[in-house]
Amino acid sequence: MAYVRNAWYVASWVQDVSSDKPYALSILDEPLVLWRAEDRWIALEDRCSHRLAPLSLGRVEGDSLRCMYHGLRFSTEGKCVEIPGQETIPAQARVKTYPIVEKHSWLWVWMGDPALADVSLVPPAVGFDDPDWILGRGFLDYQAEARLINDNLLDLSHASYVHANSFQGGDVYALERPQLETLSRGVRFSRWTTDVPGSIIRQSDEKVDAYMRYDFLIPGVLLMWTGQFPAGTAAACNFEKPDYSMAIGGVTFTSQAVTPTGDKTSRYFFSWGPHRNHGDEALRDFLLGVAQQAFAEDKVMIEAQQQVIDRTASPSIVAIAHDRGPILFNRLVEQLAQDESSRPIA
């Protein structure tokens, strides 16, 4: 299956990249080096044009990056600007650059046509600079293709089985299908669970109506909000989106981003935490613990699934009703990827 190239891929939590050392990461199997020039982030091909040593073993020198094999120095535009021991610099001594932007505490890299890189297409996540939310974060490396993780996140019915221990959501995720809506670059899911004693996020003595909504956006970014409301709220707002100022607790936000690093490898970034009015650092730490348990459960299942797929001659799936989310999203991916390949690169 194709991936969309004209999209912003999460390369890293910005907190995980030092401002004075280059950082290596592959996206769509292309080796990249990220580094901090004097006033901005730079993403270059991680391959010196001289002898193909990785620039990520190099040294940041102000607005340039020096290869530490034979000393070639590259500008923020990927142009070689110094070759020690010689005067002239051949024109081919340059490396590819990638648009990169820091937003919502993530570094995003545009893998397609640079002329089309549009910052407004960065998914509207919530960063650590947002005073309303108390977030924790992490990432996991998968030995599995990103598409399998996307499919997992596009159908939460698996929560009833894979996450029976961690999220303790019971049968409801498997038995009832969420509301589903297509977006221009993704799919939106929402679900009311009515008259329940809260959830793992917040146990409640009185019964509540719990709401959750998430967008899953190109190339593979999940943004989810949850909240608990007085019993009856779901019906009162006609099972549509509630007014969050009416929430009595359990208001949290999580963002999750799936980045295909190689053909069969991925990095899975995540944050989670409560709204400042509905929790504190202790709740954040508890939620992060639950998330780490749950994401480990997914990893076991998805990596095992990948191994079975790899051993299957002509792998094909038998779709079920819960696959409507994955089907809609993957159709969108196919459409965008096809549009790209038929459009000449500027």
Q: Would you count residue 52 as binding a second copy (CB under 8 A)?
A: yes
CA–CA separation, 48 and 123 (whole Å): 32
The answer to whether residue 340 forms part of the interface with a second copy (CB under 8 A) is no
CB of 159 to a second copy, least distance (A): 10
Minimum distance between the CB of residue 315 and a second copy, rounded to whole angstroms? 6
Other C-beta atoms closer than 10 Å to the C-beta of 17 total: 18
Q: How far is the CB of 135 from a second copy (least distance, A)?
A: 29
- For residue 37, the tally of other CB atoms under 10 A from its CB is 16
User: Closest distance between a second copy and the C-beta of residue 130, in Å?
Assistant: 34
Q: How many helices (H) and strands (E) does the chain have?
A: 5, 18
Going residue by residue from 194 to 233, which x/- string records binding to a second copy, judged by CB under 8 A?
A: ----------------------------------------
Verify binding: residue 1, a second copy, rule CB under 8 A: no
Q: Which stretch binds a second copy (CB under 8 A): 14-22, 103-111, 150-158, 251-259?
A: 150-158
State how far the Cα of 215 lies from the Cα of 187, in Å rounded to an integer.
Answer: 6
Could you tell me the smallest distance in angstroms from the CB atom of residue 180 to a second copy? 13
In whole angstroms, what is the distance from residue 210 CA to residue 198 CA? Answer: 7
Minimum Å distance from CB 65 to a second copy?
13
> Which residue in the block uniquely carries the two structure tokens 């890189």?
117
Residue 220 contacts residue 149 (beta carbons within 8 Å): yes
Show the site string, 165-184: x = touches a second copy by CB under 8 A, - = not.
Answer: ------x--xxxx-------
User: At residue 156, what is the residue type?
Assistant: L
DSSP class of residue 157? G
Classify residue 104 as left (phi > 0), alpha (psi -120 to 50) or beta: left
Rounded to an integer, what distance in angstroms lies between the CA atom of residue 20 and that of residue 22? 7
**Would you count residue 151 as binding a second copy (CB under 8 A)?**
yes
> Counting contacts by CB under 8 A, is residue 155 touching a second copy?
yes
Please choose, from the candidates 9, 3, 332, the residue with its C-alpha nearest in 3D space to the C-alpha of residue 187.
332
* Site residues for a second copy per CB under 8 A: 29, 31, 46-47, 49-54, 57, 66-72, 83-86, 90, 92-93, 151, 155, 157-158, 160-162, 171, 174-177, 300-301, 304-305, 307-309, 311-312, 315, 317-322
